[in-house]
Amino acid sequence: MSAEAVYPDLAGRAALVTGGADGIGRAIVAALIRQKARVAFLDLDRERGEALAAELTEAGGTVSFQPVDLRDIAATQAAITVAREVCGPFSIGVNNAGHDERHAFETVTSDYWDDRFAVNLRPMMFVAQALAPDMRALGGGALINLSSTSWMKGSPHMIAYTTAKSAVLGFTRSLARALGSDGIRVNCVTPGWVMTERQRTRWVTPDKWDAAQQAQAIKGEILPEDIAAMVLFLASDAARMCTGQNFIVDAGTV
Ligand SMILES: NC(=O)c1ccc[n+]([C@@H]2O[C@H](COP(=O)([O-])OP(=O)(O)OC[C@H]3O[C@@H](n4cnc5c(N)ncnc54)[C@H](O)[C@@H]3O)[C@@H](O)[C@H]2O)c1
Residue-range definition of the domain harbouring residue 194: 8-247
Ligand 1: does its nearest atom lie under 6 Å from the Cβ of 50?
Answer: no
Total domain count for the chain?
1
CA atoms 98, 7, 90, 184: torsion sign: negative
For the cut 90, the answer to whether the pLDDT of residue 235 exceeds it is yes
Whether 46 is covered by a domain: the verdict is yes
Whether 1 is covered by a domain: the verdict is no
- Kindly state the average pLDDT of the residues 210-215: 98
- What ranges in the chain are assigned the alpha helix state H? 23-34, 46-58, 73-87, 110-120, 122-138, 150-153, 159-179, 197-198, 206-215, 224-235
pLDDT score, position 241: 98
Task: Measure the CA–CA gap between 42 and 236, rounded to whole angstroms.
Answer: 21
For the cut 70, the answer to whether the pLDDT of residue 17 exceeds it is yes
Exposure of 3 by Cβ count < 10 A (0-12 exposed, 13-18 middle, 19+ buried)?
exposed
- Kindly state the average pLDDT of the residues 4-10: 97
CA 197 to chain centre: 16
Whether 45 is covered by a domain: the verdict is yes
- The closest-lying atom of ligand 1 relative to the alpha carbon of residue 19 is 24
- Kindly state the average pLDDT of the residues 188-208: 96
Catalytic residue among 90, 161, 193, 247: 161
Summarised one tens digit per residue, pLDDT across range 126-183 is: 999 999 999 999 999 999 999 999 999 999 999 999 999 999 999 999 999 999 999 9
Summarised one tens digit per residue, pLDDT across range 36-67 is: 999 999 999 999 999 999 999 999 999 999 99
Peptide bond into 67 cis (omega under 30): no
For the cut 80, the answer to whether the pLDDT of residue 1 exceeds it is no
Whether 2 is covered by a domain: the verdict is no
- Kindly state the average pLDDT of the residues 86-99: 97
Summarised one tens digit per residue, pLDDT across range 81-91 is: 999 999 999 99
The β-bridge relationship of strands 92-95 and 14-18 is parallel
Residue closest to 141 by CA, chosen among 171, 174, 83, 181: 181
- The closest-lying atom of ligand 1 relative to the alpha carbon of residue 69 is 32
For the cut 80, the answer to whether the pLDDT of residue 2 exceeds it is no
Whether 121 is covered by a domain: the verdict is yes
Q: Ligand 1 centre from 138 Cα, in Å?
A: 29
Categorise residue 109: left if φ over 0, alpha if ψ from -120 to 50, beta otherwise. Answer: beta
Looking at the chain, the whole-number percentage of residues with pLDDT higher than 90 is: 99
Kindly report the CATH number assigned to the domain that includes residue 233. 3.40.50.720
